[in-house]
Chain A
Amino acid sequence: MLRRILTNALMWLVLIIAVVWTVIPVMWMISLSFKTYGEWRTPSLLPRNPTLDNYIMLFSPQALGIFIAYTAILEPIVGPLSRTLIISATATVIAVMIGFFTAYGASRYNSPGPFTLFFTLLTRMLPPATFVTPIVIYFTTLYLIDNIIGLILLYAATTVTYAIWILKGFIDAIPVEWEEAALLEGASPLQVLFKVIIPIARPGLVVAGLFIFLMAWTELLFALVLTNLNVPLSVQVSKYVTAVGALWGVQAAAALLSSIIPLVIGYLIQRHLITGFTFGLVRG
Chain B
Amino acid sequence: MPEKPPRPIKILSSLPLNLLLNGVLIIPFIIMIYLALVKWSPLVGVNWWNAPFGGVVNFQRALSDSRFIEALGRTALFVAIVVPLELLIGLLLAYILQKPFRGKRFVISLLIYPLMLPPVVVATVFYLFFQPYGPVNNIFLQYVIGPRALNIYWFLDPTLAFITIIVADTWQWTPFMFLIMYSGLSAVPKRLIEAAEVLGASEWTIFWKVRLPLIKPLISVAVILRSLEAFKVFDYVYVMTGGGPGTSTESISLYIYRLAILYSDISYAAAVSLIVLAIIFIVSYFAVKILVGRR
B113-A274 in contact (CB<8A): no
State which of A102, A190, A238 has its C-beta within 8 Å of the C-beta of B239. A238
Q: How far is the CA of A179 from the CA of B126 in the complex (A)?
A: 52
Q: How far is the CA of A167 from the CA of B269 in the complex (A)?
A: 37
A241 and B17 contact, Cβ closer than 8 Å, known pairs A15-B93, A279-B218:
no
B14-A111 in contact (CB<8A): yes
* Residues on B with beta carbons closer than 8 Å to the beta carbon of A273: 112, 115, 179
State which of B5, B97, B252, B284 has its C-beta within 8 Å of the C-beta of A15. B97
Question: Using a CB-CB cutoff of 8 Å, which residues 146-194 of chain A contact chain B?
Answer: 153-154, 156-158, 160, 164, 176, 179-180, 188-190, 193
Encode contact with B along A17-54: 1 for CB under 8 Å, 0 otherwise: 01101110110110010000000011100000000000
B12-A259 in contact (CB<8A): no
B260-A132 in contact (CB<8A): yes
* B81 beta carbon closer than 8 Å to chain A: no
B124-A270 in contact (CB<8A): no
State which of A22, A25, A134 has its C-beta within 8 Å of the C-beta of B32. A134
Give min CB distance, A4 to chain B, whole Å: 9
Give min CB distance, B265 to chain A, whole Å: 9
A270-B112 in contact (CB<8A): yes
Question: Using a CB-CB cutoff of 8 Å, which residues 235-255 of chain A contact chain B?
Answer: 237-238, 240-242, 248, 251-252, 254-255
State which of A135, A214, A282 has its C-beta within 8 Å of the C-beta of B188. A282
A129 and B171 contact, Cβ closer than 8 Å, known pairs A258-B121, A282-B215:
no
* Residues on A with beta carbons closer than 8 Å to the beta carbon of B128: 29, 32, 248, 251-252
Q: A155 — nearest CB in chain B belongs to which residue?
A: B24
B20-A262 in contact (CB<8A): no
Question: Using a CB-CB cutoff of 8 Å, which residues 106-137 of chain B contact chain A?
Answer: 107-121, 123-129, 131, 133-135
Residues of chain A whose beta carbon lies under 8 Å from any beta carbon of chain B: 11, 14-15, 18-19, 21-23, 25-26, 28-29, 32, 41-43, 94, 97-99, 101-102, 104-106, 108-109, 111-112, 116, 119-120, 123, 125-138, 141, 153-154, 156-158, 160, 164, 176, 179-180, 188-190, 193, 214, 217-218, 220-221, 224-225, 234, 237-238, 240-242, 248, 251-252, 254-256, 258-259, 262-263, 265-267, 270, 273-279, 281-284
